[in-house]
A and B are shown apart, each in its own frame.
Chain A
């Protein structure tokens, strides 16, 4: 039983069609993104499922999860905030922004807020140096950029997530 294959048959077909049929291994990163789409991290089981789909060794899949920073092998917050603190952003105040945001959320960089809603971490250059402080959010709807930020408008955004999250829970009851 291949969970990934039964959950996303169409998506997997589209991904595989991008590469020459004898070069299926090229699809491994798109499939890893697919595997972490719902929960925000890759379960061990998905590694073997991907290796079956692509006819490669499980370890050849696992090695990528460790190498690339956008793949996560453990549970994080529902929203994963990654703040760029590289040179150019730091020249425009991103380090103070990160400190301020973490203090307001009562966490340290790398940690998840108590309600499990947000994880905040430092990250390397995101190619938005002219609009710092900035961060990306990895969440249910993919990855989005937020630029020219300050602590107040970021906290407002997090509050909105919390409210819509509560509303969703209400609905499913």
Chain B
């Protein structure tokens, strides 16, 4: 058996081929679900597994599925493959190398909520990946694993890919649905949430690629098996995308409860040029940035413990900053990104990011006056809590935590001990 749950291609060569995947019991779980389990039973197993959404929000997956409005049909399933957050590159590897496990997960999820039509929304840049997936879907249809009256039952399922065209905001689930409907990708006011009002106004489950890829093995090995892989707080395993100033950047699948020290120094080979580690961004460009200390490095990677440190585990996109980098440059870069990607719908995010961009550039170019820094801090604080979606909220995290936790990089008095 593979030592991996998600990145199984790393020890099972060619698992992307249907024959190999089926030799590894591929599509048995889907068949078992369709032929012998009630739709509700599948959701119950996923609920019991403790699986939480891997796109960043960490919402319990089974619970989301159980929210689907049973009085409004048809139901839809949408897989979110719009991976666009600086620091995140896990879904691409999963789709490229272990596509059938992902597709089986989408199929099981669709069965669980009674959807007969599912879409995979990929960022437009994943053009080659979409063609590749189309080929795999075609193969599954020919093999009778997708399509009409599956396994001799009443249940039918079609899966289609749909390409975005370059907009980070489309990773936000309601913006994604707008985009899939052929509109500009701008978030909707919520509630209602997609399980009651989703694609074309119908109940819709939207889950991340990694989330779906967990499902086949949970169905095969049971909820308890999955829970036992992780910790009490965070069940199972997670793919961490490690990037920045490390020797061996890449994706690492680790059980929850591992530490940053293991991730960065054992798997990632340590810091480039053996410099000192300075900061960790646990969740890509949206991170509340942590000052690297022994306490932080040895904290178990779990949703709750990272929150206690004053950040979020998010999608597990760990960006490492070393001593050669100044935080005023880091936030100039993150704000460049958010300013460009703000969809323009709500004022605090649209205008706020414009001003934060103006100020972070000014500060980075040398105008580190107390007045400018305080103004930046005030603008960021005024954006916080007032945006239509998470993008605006994310944009201020790096700014506020950099100024709070790395005051010396902004010409302020250094703090005595690590607030970490």
Taking CB atoms, residues of chain B closer than 8 Å to A86 are 86, 285, 333, 336-337
Return chain B residues, CB-CB under 8 Å to A129.
Answer: 86-89, 241, 243-244, 249, 317, 319
A23 beta carbon closer than 8 Å to chain B: yes
Q: Is A144 an interface residue (CB 8 A)?
A: yes
Q: Which residue of B lies closest to A87 (CB)?
A: B333
- CB <8 Å contact, B164 and A91: no
A69 touches B166 (CB 8 A): yes
What residues of B have a CB within 8 angstroms of the CB of A56 in the complex? 182
Question: Contact: B167 with A25, CB < 8 Å?
Answer: no
Within the assembled complex, what's the spacing in Å between the Cα atoms of A143 and B127?
6
Q: Is the CB of B165 within 8 A of A130?
A: no
B102 at the binding interface (Cβ < 8 Å): no
Residue B330 lies at the interface, judged by CB distance under 8 Å to chain A: yes
Establish whether residues A87 and B87, one from each chain, have CB atoms under 8 Å apart when the complex forms. yes
- Is there an interface contact between A64 and B241, defined as CB atoms closer than 8 Å? no
A91:B244 contact, CB within 8 angstroms: yes
Is A127 a contact of B185 with CB atoms below 8 Å? Answer: no
Q: How near does chain B come to A103, taking the closest CB pair, in angstroms?
A: 22
The CA of A61 and the CA of B125, in the complex, are separated in Å by 20
Q: A87 contacts B164, CB within 8 Å?
A: no
Is A101 in contact with chain B by the CB < 8 A criterion? no
- A20-B200, A130-B243 in contact; A125/B86 too (CB < 8 A)? yes
Closest to B127 in A: A143
Say if the beta carbon of B123 comes within 8 Å of chain A.
yes
Contact B128 A143 (CB under 8 A): yes
List B contacts of A69 (CB < 8 A): 165-167
Contact A23 B181 (CB under 8 A): yes
B184 and A63 within 8 A (CB): yes
> 8 Å CB contacts to B: which residues of A63-102?
63-64, 67-71, 86-88, 90-92
Cβ of A126: which chain B residues have Cβ within 8 Å of it? 125
The answer to whether B325 and A71 have CB atoms under 8 Å apart is no
B160 to chain A, nearest CB (A): 4
Q: Assess the A130–B337 pair: CB atoms within 8 A.
A: no
Q: Could you tell me the distance between the alpha carbons of A68 and B123 in the complex, rounded to whole angstroms?
A: 11
Contact B165 A88 (CB under 8 A): no
Interface positions, chain A 127-165, Cβ under 8 Å from B, are 127-131, 136, 142-145
Which residues, 334 to 353 on B, are CB-close (under 8 Å) to A? 334, 336-337, 340-341, 343
Q: Smallest CB–CB gap between A157 and chain B, Å?
A: 17
- A129's nearest neighbour on chain B, judged by CB, is B243
Q: Are A136 and B251 in contact (CB under 8 A)?
A: no
Cβ 8 A contact of B86, one of A26, A33, A87: A87
A120 within 8 A of B: no
CB contacts under 8 Å to A, within B151-169, are 160, 162-168
Q: Which chain B residues border A27 with CB–CB below 8 Å?
A: 182
Given known pairs A29-B179, A68-B167, the reply for A124 and B125 (CB within 8 Å) is no
**How many residues belonging to A are interface residues under a CB distance threshold of 8 Å?**
41
Shortest A14–chain B CB gap in Å is 10
Docked pose: A20 CA to B407 CA in angstroms? 55
B165 & A64 in contact (Cβ 8 Å cutoff)? yes
Point out the residue from A26, A91, A130 that lies within 8 Å of B89, measured CB to CB. A130
Q: Assess the A64–B164 pair: CB atoms within 8 A.
A: no
- Asked if B244 and A25 make an inter-chain contact with CB atoms under 8 angstroms apart, the answer reads no
Q: Are B243 and A67 in contact (CB under 8 A)?
A: no
Say whether A87 contacts B319, CB under 8 Å: yes
The interface residues of chain B lying within 8 Å CB-to-CB of A67 are: 167, 184-185, 343
Within 8 A of A (CB), among B201-255: 241-245, 249-251
Minimum C-beta distance from A138 to chain B (A): 9
**For residue A25, which residues in chain B have a CB less than 8 angstroms away from its CB?**
181-183
Instruction: Give the contacting residue for A32; candidates B117, B162, B165, B251; CB below 8 A.
Output: B165
- B163-A127 in contact (CB<8A): no
Question: How far is the CB of A30 from the nearest CB of chain B, in Å?
Answer: 7
**In the docked arrangement, what's the CA distance between A24 and B325, Å?**
49
Asked whether B184 lies within 8 Å of A88 as measured between CB atoms, the reply is: no
Q: Which residue of B lies closest to A30 (CB)?
A: B163
Determine if A124 and B243 form an interchain contact, defined as CB atoms under 8 angstroms apart.
Answer: no
User: Which residues of B274-317 have CB atoms within 8 Å of chain A's CB atoms?
Assistant: 285, 317
B330 in contact with A87 (CB, 8 Å): yes
Least distance between A62 CB and chain B CB atoms (Å): 11
A142–B243 touching, CB < 8 Å? no
**Which of A64, A92, A129 has most chain B Cβ within 10 Å?**
A129
B92 is an interface residue with CB less than 8 A from chain A: yes
- The 5 A-B pairs of least Cβ separation, nearest first, read A68-B165, A69-B166, A130-B249, A25-B182, A129-B243
Chain A residues near B (Cβ < 8 Å) = 18, 20, 23, 25-30, 32-33, 54, 56, 60, 63-64, 67-71, 86-88, 90-92, 123-131, 136, 142-145
For the complex with contacts A86-B337, A91-B321, A130-B251, 13 further pairs of A-B residues with Cβ separation under 8 Å are A25-B183, A32-B165, A64-B183, A68-B166, A86-B86, A87-B87, A87-B244, A87-B333, A91-B325, A125-B285, A130-B241, A143-B124, A143-B125
| Cross-chain pairs A/B with CB under 8 angstroms, 25 sampled | A18-B162, A20-B117, A20-B200, A23-B181, A26-B162, A28-B182, A29-B163, A29-B165, A30-B163, A33-B165, A64-B165, A64-B184, A70-B124, A70-B165, A86-B285, A86-B336, A86-B337, A87-B244, A87-B285, A87-B319, A87-B333, A127-B91, A129-B243, A130-B89, A143-B128
